[in-house]
Amino acid sequence: MKERAYIIGNYEKIVVKIRGLNVLFHGLKITKCDLLKDVEGAEYLVLVGLGRKLSTIKKIIYETSEKDCCKPLLKSFGSDIVHVFNIGGFKYKIVSY
């Protein structure tokens, strides 16, 4: 488990313990996941952190931009983009395995 420190304004520092989803999946013995939803700007880091567990996720919804850095990674695990949509000016993709 890693710790990450955050500064809130100029006054408060909080330390948060974090785990990667691959560690969580392993610890909870999760062998498949039906849906992984947008993770607010950290999509690529989350997907890379999943490693081989990425292929155990049935559908992934993620926010994207013109430079979609997640697409090559997802393709390397055999995914297909099945739907693209916009909400509030943000572009999302649904990926399926």
Domains observed in the chain:
30-96 (3.40.50.150)
User: pLDDT higher for 60 or 4?
Assistant: 60
Instruction: Quote the pTM value.
Output: 0.70
71-79 average pLDDT score: 86
Instruction: Look at the block and give the residue holding tokens 């393709």.
Output: 75
Cα separation, 59 vs 96, whole angstroms? 5
And the tokens for 50? 């999943």
Q: What is the pLDDT of residue 19?
A: 79
In order, the DSSP letters of 4-49 are EEEEETTTEEEEEEE--HHHHHHHTT---EEEE---TT-HHHHHHH
DSSP 8-state symbol, 67: S
